[in-house]
């Protein structure tokens, strides 16, 4: 494990609900004649405390969903540890995931349209979840679930296609809640919803955190919603975590060039020029070909430990940044950066951006 874990440990007095240590996931891609390995997640470590929302932000392809799928045990990690209540479930439940784990860790997917089978009524989904995990599916229990997520009893008899996207996502959350989970992995739960209903789903997640002490991993590429919802934010780039800490601290004082690059793409009416290609090209260069790191003891640091620097503390939790000198695997990094939006909506690669910047500067 290259990342020291102390810097991500929760400062709460209680132990974290779930800890991830050195999680790595490789996929085999290609045909039998040209097999190659894609490292989607590389040596990632973090904690998820109860009653806190942790946002995992990053661009498409950075590895966010792979982490969630590994934690939901839908993918088998290549290496690492996943400790739930201190037990490494990858060792104790190596072959078969226990029902107890599935009950404690639930996932809500991005697509509220695809995650509910259209041939069943809403009552079916909730009843099934309750019964599978040994609860009584009484009318009272079903109604309570619906009310918790802001839906009404009469919707029990509805089919998914009769509900709006926001209502369907609430049903998906109700289904997850049916088993009384301690952790919800929410993978872009609002990205397919109308802007007008997004905030309702975010507020629901916030209420569940406060009222039920549920831990949440909120995966998103929408920095605004992470700022609105999360207690802690972690930034992921090319399969690795590059920055983390109090959500407001990370957004207001980003310490890694990749976090700055992400933020520079967020429309901001108060920022003159709003989108600066020269600055963005410099940030890309600093990410791909780092030459210095400002967080060493004397303004520089070696390429050896520590891989993470503590740059501040907010609300009792450390704000850390990965050493700038630790260059990412260049093929993955270039692929992820390629997804970075240009103001005209086209994808670009770093060469184009540098050229664009040089032209603009000239
Ligand atoms: N089943 C798979 N087989 C091969 N490669 C995969 C598989 N799943 C993910 N990958 C690769 O792993 C990398 C990370 O993908 P992942 O879906 O985790 O990213 P992400 O940050 O969640 O992106 P998005 O926001 O678009 O969902 C990508 O390069 C992707 O192509």
Query: Could you tell me which CATH class the domain 6-361 is placed in?
Result: alpha beta
For ligand 1, atom 17, the nearest C-alpha belongs to 65
Summarised one tens digit per residue, pLDDT across range 111-167 is 877 878 899 999 999 999 999 888 888 999 999 999 999 899 999 999 999 998 889
Ligand 1 centre distance from Cα of residue 218 (Å): 17
Contact 118, 161 (CB under 8 A): yes
- Nearest alpha carbon to residue 336 among 221, 195, 199: 221
Coil vs helix vs strand at 252: helix
- The structure tokens listed for 27 are 């996929």
Task: Name, in order, each residue with C-beta under 8 angstroms of 126's C-beta and a sequence gap of 6 or more.
Answer: 137, 142, 145, 146, 156, 171, 174, 175, 178
289 Cα to the center of ligand 1, angstroms? 24
- Per-residue pLDDT of 246-300, as tens digits, reads 999 999 999 999 999 999 887 776 665 556 788 888 888 888 888 888 886 555 5
| Helix axes of 195-212 and 165-177: crossing angle, nearest 10 degrees | 20
Q: Is 58 close to ligand 1, i.e. is its CB under 6 Å away?
A: yes
Closest atom of ligand 1 relative to the 28 alpha carbon: 4
Res 353: pLDDT: 35
What residue ranges do the domains of the chain occupy?
6-361
pLDDT at 213 over 80: yes
């Amino acid at each position: 494990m290259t990342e020291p874990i102390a810097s991500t440990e929760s400062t709460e007095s209680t132990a974290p609900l779930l800890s991830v240590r050195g999680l790595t996931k490789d996929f085999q891609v290609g045909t039998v004649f040209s097999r190659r390995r894609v490292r989607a997640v590389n040596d990632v470590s973090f904690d998820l405390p109860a009653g806190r929302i942790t946002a995992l932000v990053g661009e498409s392809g950075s590895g966010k969903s792979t982490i969630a799928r590994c934690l939901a045990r839908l993918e088998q990690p290549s290496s690492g540890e996943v400790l739930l209540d201190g037990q490494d479930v990858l060792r104790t439940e190596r072959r078969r995931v226990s029902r107890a784990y599935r009950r404690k860790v639930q996932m809500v997917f991005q697509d509220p349209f695809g995650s509910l089978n259209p041939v069943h009524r809403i009552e079916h989904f909730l009843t099934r979840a309750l019964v599978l995990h040994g609860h009584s599916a009484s009318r009272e229990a079903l109604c309570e679930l619906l009310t918790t997520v802001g839906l009404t009893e009469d919707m029990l008899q509805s089919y998914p296609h009769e509900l709006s996207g926001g209502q369907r996502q609430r049903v998906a959350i109700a289904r997850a809640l049916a088993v009384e989970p301690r952790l919800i992995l929410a993978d872009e739960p609002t990205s397919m919803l109308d802007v007008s209903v997004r905030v309702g789903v975010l507020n629901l997640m916030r209420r569940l955190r406060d009222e039920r002490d549920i831990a949440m991993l909120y995966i998103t590429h929408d920095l605004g919603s992470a700022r609105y919802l999360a207690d802690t934010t972690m930034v992921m780039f090319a399969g690795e975590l590059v920055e983390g800490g109090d959500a407001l601290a990370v957004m207001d004082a980003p310490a890694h060039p990749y976090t700055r690059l992400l933020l520079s793409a967020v429309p901001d009416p108060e920022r003159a020029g709003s989108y600066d290609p020269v600055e963005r090209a410099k940030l890309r260069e600093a990410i791909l070909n780092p030459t210095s790191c400002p967080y060493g003891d004397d303004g520089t640091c070696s390429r050896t430990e520590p891989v993470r620097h503590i740059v501040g503390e907010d609300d009792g939790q450390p704000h850390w940044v990965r050493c700038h000198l630790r260059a990412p695997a260049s093929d993955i990094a270039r692929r992820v950066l390629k997804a970075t939006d240009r103001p005209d909506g086209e994808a670009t690669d770093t060469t184009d951006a540098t050229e664009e910047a040089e032209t603009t500067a000239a």
